[in-house]
Structure 1
Amino acid sequence: MPRISPDFDGQTVITTFEVTPGTAHDLIDALTDAWDKVISRQPGFIGGAVHLNDAQTRVATYSQWRDRGDYQAMLRTPEMRERNRVINALCRSFEPVMYELHSVYDG
């Protein structure tokens, strides 16, 4: 499970996918399978989540990694390279962006 705390010094990756309502759930299925079978089992993986907007035109994923190299190593595995080709075919575009934690606010 992702934990957002001020002392987190790992790598956060937020990826947004642009989809159509007709492919949104196909993409969610492909992402869920990838997270269950590959991503969550990689060294350095801490946690993540998958989100779908109300209009079913955007999917966003959030993941935390021990460091940038762990995330990049996961992307280079043959299985994820193949899965990313399938994922790419299900969406108009997708963009993973690496972030460093700046601040945390509690309500």
Structure 2
Amino acid sequence: MTTISTEHPCVTLINVFTVDPDRQEELVALLIQATESVMKKFPGFLSANFHQSLDGTKVVNYAQWKDEEAFSRMLKDPEALVHMKKAEEIAEQYDPTLYQVVYTSLDI
């Protein structure tokens, strides 16, 4: 489960993919399949969430990893690289960046 908290020590990958609207669903399906079959196996993987824009041009991956080292280990894995290469081929652009949570506000 995703926990967004300043007290949850993890790193967050936010990757914004720009995609042709005709390929948005294909990219989402690939990201889900890669998460279920590969990413979830890695030590340090915590969560993944995918968002698709209503206009069809963006897909956002919001994933949490235990720490930067766990994320870096995944980036070197040949099986993970196969999936990332496929995502790069579908997307027109992508911007993966690691973040840490510095503030949250919840008003329910």
TM-score range, shorter chain: over 0.9
2:88 alignment partner in structure 1: 88
Q: Please give the per-residue CA displacement for 1:9-62, whole angstroms capped at 9, x wherever unaligned.
A: 211110000001111011111111101011122100111200001011000010
Scaled by the length of structure 1, the TM-score of the pair is 0.95
2:40 alignment partner in structure 1: 40
5+ residue gaps, structure 2: none
Distance in 2 separating the partners of 1:44 and 1:73: 9
Distance in 2 separating the partners of 1:81 and 1:46: 19
2:103 alignment partner in structure 1: 103
Size of the aligned set, in residue pairs, is 107
1:17 maps onto 2:46 in alignment: no
1:6 alignment partner in structure 2: 6
Structure 1 ranges of 4+ moved more than 3 A: none
5+ residue gaps, structure 1: none
Quote the offset at 1:6 in angstroms: 2.4
1:57 alignment partner in structure 2: 57
Q: What letter is aligned with 2:4?
A: I
* Backbone CA RMSD of aligned residues: 0.9
2:79 alignment partner in structure 1: 79
Greater mean alpha carbon deviation, residues 4-13 or residues 46-55: 4-13
Helix, strand or coil at the partner of 2:22:
coil
Scaled by the length of structure 2, the TM-score of the pair is 0.94
Helix, strand or coil at the partner of 1:22:
helix
